[in-house]
Chain A
Amino acid sequence: MHEMGIANSVIEAVRKEAARHPGTQPCKVGVRIGELAAIDQDALRFCFEAIARETDLESLQLDVEVCPRRHRCSACRREFVVHDYDFRCPQCASLATECISGDELELAYLEVEEYGACPAGEKSS
Chain B
Amino acid sequence: MERVPLEKKVLSENDRIAADLRARFQEHGVFCLNLISSPGSGKTSLLECTLGAFPRHDRVAVLTGDIQTENDAIRLKRFHFPVKQITTGGTCHLDARMIERHLADWPLEDLDLLLIENVGNLVCPSSYDLGEAAKIVVLSVTEGEDKPLKYPSIFFKSDLLVLNKIDLLPYVPFDINAAADNARRIHPGIEIVKVSCLTGAGLHEWMMWLEQRRRAQKQLVQQPVG
A residues lining the B interface (CB < 8 Å):
1-2, 5-6, 9-10, 13, 17, 21, 24, 27, 29-31, 35-39, 85, 87, 99, 103, 105-113, 117
Complex: A103 Cα to B157 Cα, angstroms: 9
**With contact pairs A2-B93, A38-B127, A112-B1 given, residues A103 and B156 touching in the complex (Cβ less than 8 Å):** yes
Query: Smallest Cβ distance from B1 to chain A, in angstroms?
Result: 5
Number of residue pairs spanning A and B whose beta carbons lie under 8 angstroms apart: 88
B residues lining the A interface (CB < 8 Å):
1-13, 91-93, 95, 123-124, 126-128, 149, 151-154, 156-157, 185-186, 188
Which residue in A35, A38, A108 is a CB contact (below 8 Å) of B123?
A: A38
Contact between chains at A2 and B9 (CB < 8 Å): no
Query: Smallest Cβ distance from A32 to chain B, in angstroms?
Result: 9
User: Can you list 29 residue pairs at the A/B interface with Cβ under 8 Å?
Assistant: A1-B123, A2-B92, A2-B123, A2-B127, A9-B13, A13-B6, A13-B12, A17-B4, A17-B6, A21-B4, A27-B1, A29-B6, A31-B10, A36-B156, A38-B151, A85-B186, A99-B156, A103-B156, A103-B157, A107-B7, A107-B8, A108-B7, A109-B5, A111-B2, A111-B3, A111-B4, A112-B2, A113-B1, A113-B2
Contact between chains at A109 and B6 (CB < 8 Å): yes
Task: Specify the chain B residue showing the minimal Cβ separation from A97.
Answer: B188
Complex: A17 Cα to B92 Cα, angstroms: 28
